[in-house]
Structure formats: structure tokens, C-alpha cells
Amino acid sequence: MSRISKKFLDLKKSKKTCLISYITAGDPSISSTPEIMESLVNSGTDIIELGVPFSDPMADGPTIQRACERALKQNVSCFDIFDAVQTFRKKDQTTPVVLMGYLNPIERIGYEKFSKLASESGADAILVVDLPHEEATDIVNIFRKDNLESIFLIAPNTDLSRIQKILKYASGFLYYVSLKGVTGASTLNIKETREQLKNIKKAVNLPLAVGFGIKDAETAKSLSKDADAIVIGSAIVKIIEQDQNDKIKINNGIMDLMKPIRSSLDESVHTGG
């Protein structure tokens, strides 16, 4: 059983919602990335999404775009990120790590080489933002050979027939983008999102995560009633941006943000599949 499947199974037994946290690898530095990953786990994170910095992150809002720019200025590469995951794995063998990014850096390295190195580093899954399922057969099969799961995004305008096609390629969990916009947006309609989540959950056989626009405990708790996982991203990256040179402030800021979210999710009895 994969780390991701085990995590969702354990949380389901405890009737808890999975908390997924995103950071951009290499921000504020690649050497600090494993430490921040540890801080996320200590503050209640169940799965870590590690962003692979890219020059044109089309799905990311200004906060994460700036994080990518800061990392790229330091010449952070995929190889550096593999090393960071490997360092994290020396202390943590159980927390799943998803590498989230775009196709271009993977193609530059080569599908097979990227997949092999990602797996060897201790990563569990890959989410390629700009990879539609129609073009995913080759890369998904390569990932499968290296025991890497493939996470796919679905949007508010993704109809159920298309979701069924995506499920043939997806594993680990499905990531529902809660709004038509970029990360960090503030136009989230809770009622509408909950209705959409309910409809999707009836049709899918994978855990359903929801992200984009979730910034606080109240929103997380509300959406957790109809999702298996809540994703927090831009709010964490903003903390890192504000305190670039102060590890203690970054750690404390992450704790102050995430612990109330973790507590609110634990207060909500989750019975979803």
C-alpha cells in the first residue's frame, strides 16, 4: 500500500479530514525546505505538496509566482528538490510527498530519468498541472513503473463524463480546484463548492481533495464536510515570503496558521469515502 493510500485509510478510520499543505521548493532557500516540511508536519499536515519552481506557473497566483521567482533566482533545480526530499526522508518515512509542477522541467530531464530520481528521493506522487489526461498515457505509465502516483486536477466546469475518463489515469487522490481562477484567489463560494463536491464524490472512487482560495479554519471546516482533504497553499507561502530570513518566525507563523485549521478539521466528524 502506498503512503498516500495508507494515510487516507488511517484518517478515514479516525473520521478525520486530510490536511494537505503546499510550499514552493527552494523558497526561501533549498537548504531550509526540509525544515519547513518538518514544521508543516508538526503543525498537523498529513500530506505535503512540494512545488517545483517554474518560470510560467499558469495556475498560480501572485504569491506563488513570486515564490517561484525567488527559488529560480537561486537556480533551484529538480535535482536540488530530489535532494531536499531525500533529506526530509531521513527524519520522516511516513508523510506522503507530492511533487507539483509543470511539464517543461520534466521534459527537459526526460520522463524516465525524472521518474526514477523522484521515486528514489522518496517522493510518492507527481501532479503535472498542464498535463491533460488525453496526453498522459506515456508519462503515467512511466510513473507507475516507479511506484509514483499521478494526481490530476479537476475544475468547476469539468463534467462527470470527463472526470470518469480522468479516473482511468489518476491515482492517490483527485484535486478539485474550487474556483475558476488562480491560487490565492478570494472569490470562493462555499455553498456552491460544497454542492459540486457532493456531486463529484458520488461519481469517483478516489479520495477528493479541494484547494484554491482556502485560507482559514472556518472555510476549511465547512468544506471538509464534503471532501476527504483540504489543501492550503498561498496562505503558507505568504508567511514564508514575509519572513524570508527568519526561520523561527517562519516556523511560528506556520504553526499559528495551521494548528487552528488542524483543530477545526478534527472537530468536524468526517464520514465521507
Task: Give Cα 105 to chain centroid, integer Å.
Answer: 18
- Spatial CB neighbours of 248, under 8 Å, sequence gap ≥ 6: none
Angle in degrees, CA 9, 11, 16, rounded to 5: 145
Catalytic residue among 27, 49, 149, 226: 49
35 is catalytic: no
Measure the CA–CA gap between 15 and 273, rounded to whole angstroms. 10
Catalytic residue among 27, 38, 46, 60: 60
Phi, psi of 136 (to 5 degrees): -100, -10
- Spatial CB neighbours of 174, under 8 Å, sequence gap ≥ 6: 151, 152, 154, 163, 166, 167, 200, 204, 206, 207, 208, 209
- Least Cα distance to 97 among 106, 116, 84 occurs for 84
Measure the CA–CA gap between 175 and 171, rounded to whole angstroms. 11
60 is catalytic: yes
Question: Which of the residues are catalytic?
Answer: 49, 60
